[in-house]
Structure 1
Amino acid sequence: MQRWKINLIVLMSGNFLVFAGMTMIIPFLSLYLKQDLGLTDNHEIGLWAGLIFAANFVTSFLFQPLWGKLSDKYGRKLMLLRSGFGMSIVMVLMGFATEPWHLLLLRMLNGVISGYTPAAVSLVSATTPKNRMGFAMGTLQSGGTAGAILGPFIGGLLADSFGYRPIFYITGSFLFLASFISWLMVRENFDRSAAALKKQVSVVKGFRDLMVIRQLPVLLTITFLIQFAMLSPMPLMPLYVQELHGTTENLAFYAGFVGSVTGISNLISAPLLGRLSDRIGPTRILLISLAGAGVMLIPQAFVGSVSQLLIFRFLLGCFMGGLIPTVNSLIRKHTPDGMESRSYGFNSSALSLGNMLGPVMGGLLSGLIGIEGLFILSGILLFLTCIWATRALRARRST
């Protein structure tokens, strides 16, 4: 088997373990704050959940460009292992938190050392033939999506049976296993001696050099807007499920199922849309996916039952499979060889910024417009992003 395919399989599996571990507790964060850490006011819970969820992405936004620079200097695999083993330790420590601010600080630390998935994307992009990039990016995301599917589902079952704290210890174990498998099996043809001889520029200078490439600022902005729109309603999703479900019986299971169903359709659609993007171009897939995701977000504000919510979340996932993978494909297409890690580092910062501001704004706005209003606003934002991206990317191609 070709080396790029072996790396892709291993890193897809690693992505699965990372996302399975990370999503076991995040969908139930508001319930954890309410039942284990003693918060009672729903608005206070929503605000804390948004801040804690976003804290990881605040520090990730700041540090990802640095890890991207070091990745180009010392190798992508080293950054992969640094992130994976470090996050496994931090995640276990979260199981010992007794106050909301404990979780806040640990999430910030997790963001400092995070970066398994961006490193995996960078490594795959550097070793995959360009004519197979759409397939590779879609397949890599499908591994993370599969983990995101099973993570909330398993976490819901464990939470109903044992409570929330054990999930942190299992999450740490998953992250450690993903890092260990990557250490054993991933191979990277990286010449550190040659990299050391290259002139090293600062993070700011590297950013300026990349932003001269006309397509990259547009793509980074699209990444930010996608994550901002998708994450805004998430801190209050378990409470929304509780409102629709009408009882606390098996609540964690249903909240996990709502989180999982989007991943199921995403898992199916990402490789298919990736193959299609190799044939008709990633730009078309990106624009169609933006419009489709916007359509599927708005009806979620008007559902009357959990089953109706599940239908629209499933359809949303079908279009989500064509968002970030196609952006990654386009970034690789327009980035000069040898600068892939920096490019993906900055894109990871844009993603983290969206992940950070989305939940915070969602938590702040929840007291005014509720989660129903957040669904509507998010859908409109994706529509506007689609219109702007159509014009911006077309203008870049014509210049």
Structure 2
Amino acid sequence: MEQWKKNLVVLWFGQFLVMAGMTMIIPFLSLYLQFDLGLSDTHEIGIWAGIIFAGNFVTSFIFQPIWGKMADRYGRKMMLLRSGFGMSIVMVLMGFATNPWHLLLLRMLNGTISGFNPASIALISATTPKAKMGFAMGTIQSGGIAGTILGPFIGGLLADSIGFRPIFYLTGALLFAASLLALFVVKEPFDRMKAAQRVQASVIEGFRKLSGIPQLTALFAVTFLIQFAMMSPMTLIPLYVQELHGTTANLAFFAGFVGSVTGLSNLVASPLLGKLSDRVGAERVLGVALVGSSLAFIPQALAGTVWQLLIARFILGIFLGGLIPAVNSLIRKYTPDGMESRSYSFNTSTMSLGNMIGPITGGALSGWIGIQGLFLLSAVMLMINAGWVYQSLLRKSPFSQQGKDN
């Protein structure tokens, strides 16, 4: 097997385990706070659960660009191993928490040392042949999506069978094993001498330089809006399903199905659309996927039955499957040499920002416009972003040939 394929296989499993570990606590976090950490007030449990879950994304948003700079200086593999082994230790420590503050601080520490995903993407982009870049980006993306989808499901099953604390120990052990596998199998042709001779701009200077490239600014906006559009109505979907379903029979099943069907179609579509982008160009796939995603939100707002909502969200997942792989391929194309890891880290920060702002904004606006209004707002924002992408990447403009010359 060619080395780039070995890298892809190992890092796919790494992406899966990292995202599964981050989302595995969703089904039992409130129960863990109640039965193991001593909280009894329902309102207090809800507040702590929200803060603890968000804590990971807050510190991740802040520290991703710093680790990106380090990766460009010392190599993506080193940052990948730092993150993998570090998160495995923190995950095990979560199982020893005795009060909510311990869990919050550990989740924030986990976000601080995270960086496995952007380091993986940067390493794959550096080792994969250009003709296979779209396929590789779609495949590595599917690993993260699979972990996000199956994480809560696995967490729920394990909580019933082995209890809450052992889940953290098991997840930490699996992360350690994946990092160990990456240590011995993954290879990166990184010239440290050349990287040391290159002038390393500060994080702020690096952001100014990268944000000065209009194509990258548009791509970062795509990443933010994807997460914002997906997360803003997420907490309200069970209530929307209840309204459409009209009965409590099988309500939990349908709510879970509606929540996961987008990820399932995304998982299938990502490698296929990534491969298509190798043939027709990532810019075209990105443009069509943005317009398609925007339009797919409209029937969700107009749905009259749960099945109509399911179909609309399944179609949305297909178009979303073309967005992130295309974004990752194009970030590599337009990023100046020596700043690839930093660029992917900034992109991950925008993703974390969308994860934070989306639910907060959705909850705040739902009282005025309802979940239907949130779906339509997402449609409008993605369509505006499609116009931005057209101006920056698709339209023949003076910037269209900048690429790495910047």
Alignment TM-score > 0.5, same fold: yes
Q: 1:40 aligns with which of 39, 42, 57?
A: 42
| Cα distance between partner residues in 1 of 2:163 and 2:257 | 17
Contact 2:218–2:388 (Cα < 8 Å) also in 1: no
Pairing 1:130–2:122 present: no
Matches within 5 A, 1:363-382: 363-382=363-382
1:330 shift after superposition = 0.6
Contact 1:160–1:250 (Cα < 8 Å) also in 2: no
What is the SS of the residue equivalent to 1:321?
helix
Q: Which moved more, 1:17-26 or 1:235-244?
A: 235-244
Unaligned stretches of 5+ in structure 2? 400-406
In structure 1, the residue matched to 2:223 is 223
In structure 2, the residue matched to 1:289 is 289
Sequence identity, in percent? 65
Rate the CA distance shift 1:73–1:280 in 2: closer, same or farther, 3 A. Answer: same
> CA RMSD, aligned part only?
3.2
| Cα distance between partner residues in 2 of 1:227 and 1:106 | 24
Rate the CA distance shift 1:6–1:382 in 2: closer, same or farther, 3 A. Answer: same
TM-score (norm 2): 0.85
What is the SS of the residue equivalent to 2:213?
coil
In structure 2, the residue matched to 1:338 is 338
Rate the CA distance shift 1:276–1:34 in 2: closer, same or farther, 3 A. Answer: farther
Contact 1:223–1:347 (Cα < 8 Å) also in 2: yes
Paired letter, 2:319: F
1:174-205: CA deviation from partner (whole Å, max 9, x where unpaired): 32232222122111122223322333321222
Matches within 5 A, 1:274-313: 274-301=274-301, 303=303, 307-313=307-313
Rate the CA distance shift 1:266–1:347 in 2: closer, same or farther, 3 A. Answer: same
Rate the CA distance shift 1:86–1:223 in 2: closer, same or farther, 3 A. Answer: same
1:42-68: CA deviation from partner (whole Å, max 9, x where unpaired): 9x94x6655444322221111111101
1:145 shift after superposition = 2.1
Runs of 4+ in 1 over 6 A off after TM superposition: 30-36
Matches within 5 A, 1:1-399: 1-26=1-26, 37-38=39-40, 40=42, 45=46, 50-96=50-96, 102-159=102-159, 166-237=166-237, 244=245, 246-247=247-248, 251=252, 256-301=256-301, 303=303, 307-394=307-394, 397-399=397-399
1:201-227: CA deviation from partner (whole Å, max 9, x where unpaired): 212222233333331122122222222
Contact 1:159–1:167 (Cα < 8 Å) also in 2: yes
Contact 1:55–1:356 (Cα < 8 Å) also in 2: no
Contact 2:10–2:178 (Cα < 8 Å) also in 1: no
What is the SS of the residue equivalent to 2:42?
coil
Q: Which moved more, 1:238-247 or 1:132-141?
A: 238-247
| Cα distance between partner residues in 1 of 2:271 and 2:237 | 27
What is the SS of the residue equivalent to 1:297?
helix
1:229 shift after superposition = 1.5
1:392 shift after superposition = 3.5
TM-score (norm 1): 0.86
1:133 shift after superposition = 1.3
- Which has the higher relative contact order, 1 or 2, with Cα contacts under 8 A spaced 6 or more apart? 1
| Cα distance between partner residues in 2 of 1:308 and 1:33 | 36
What is the SS of the residue equivalent to 1:350?
helix
Contact 1:215–1:396 (Cα < 8 Å) also in 2: no
Contact 1:300–1:312 (Cα < 8 Å) also in 2: yes
In structure 1, the residue matched to 2:404 is none
1:13 shift after superposition = 2.0
Paired letter, 2:198: K
Rate the CA distance shift 1:391–1:214 in 2: closer, same or farther, 3 A. Answer: closer
Count of matched residue positions in the alignment of Structure 1 and Structure 2: 396
Rate the CA distance shift 1:25–1:270 in 2: closer, same or farther, 3 A. Answer: same
1:144-193: CA deviation from partner (whole Å, max 9, x where unpaired): 22223332332333345566555444433332232222122111122223
| Cα distance between partner residues in 2 of 1:373 and 1:150 | 29
Q: Which moved more, 1:334-343 or 1:170-179?
A: 170-179
Paired letter, 2:361: M
| Cα distance between partner residues in 2 of 1:48 and 1:372 | 28
Paired letter, 1:185: V
Rate the CA distance shift 1:34–1:240 in 2: closer, same or farther, 3 A. Answer: farther
| Cα distance between partner residues in 2 of 1:247 and 1:161 | 26
